[in-house]
Amino acid sequence: MGRASSPAVFLDRDGVIIEDVDLLTHADRIRILPGVAQAIRELKEAGFALLVVSNQPVVARGLIDESGVAALQREVEARLILEGAPALDGFYFCPHHPRATLPAYRQACACRKPRPGLLLRAAAEHGIDLSASFMVGDRPTDLQAGAQAGCRTIWVETGMHLAPPIQSVEPLPPPRPDHVCAGLLQAARWILAQGRS
């Protein structure tokens, strides 16, 4: 395994990059949130790897298969590029759920946030320095996954930040983000300011 050296910004998808429509299964419901393309561009220009880490219980519920989730992500990325964003560096998702409709996906896995498995896998595959990285999410589970992986965490108020916590095998502590802001562009500006402080 290569030496971990690059910083990354890990991004939740629904509620951070796109509008959270609750169980996205069709491309016509994709809406890129304001400022996202610019935020991604600024972070990429500053040298951050950009990695999406997302729970996708739609698979466990039998609403769409894993290839369908990948196709929706390709559409998200195509729309971001149309808005002037660079390509993202990776997309990692958890298809499992502890109470999945489909038995094959019914498990308490290491990849479903709040567990840090998605971030750890992405970091290993991309040579990421987790201690120099950030996790941006709209739910306590995102923040917990980022903290457990050793990243600084940012809570954005563009998605389900006021919703009840998602189902998790372990109890979630109260969120303690390093920063709270209105959306991804503000998060990006804060991240970039850390390097100058």
Classified as helix, coil or strand, 67 is helix
pTM > 0.75: yes
Share of the chain above pLDDT 70, in %: 90
Judge whether 109 lies within some domain. yes
Number of residues that make up the chain: 197
Q: Is residue 195 part of a domain?
A: no
pLDDT tens by residue, 57-81: 999 999 999 999 999 999 999 999 9
Q: Containing domain of residue 146, as a range?
A: 8-190
pLDDT tens per residue across span 124-175: 999 999 999 999 999 999 999 999 999 999 999 986 655 555 555 566 777 7
Which tokens is 57 given?
């219980």
CA 130 to chain CA mean position, Å: 15
Which sequence positions are flagged as catalytic?
A: 12, 14
Instruction: Establish if 3 belongs to a structural domain.
Output: no
- Residue 85 is assigned to a structural domain of this protein: yes
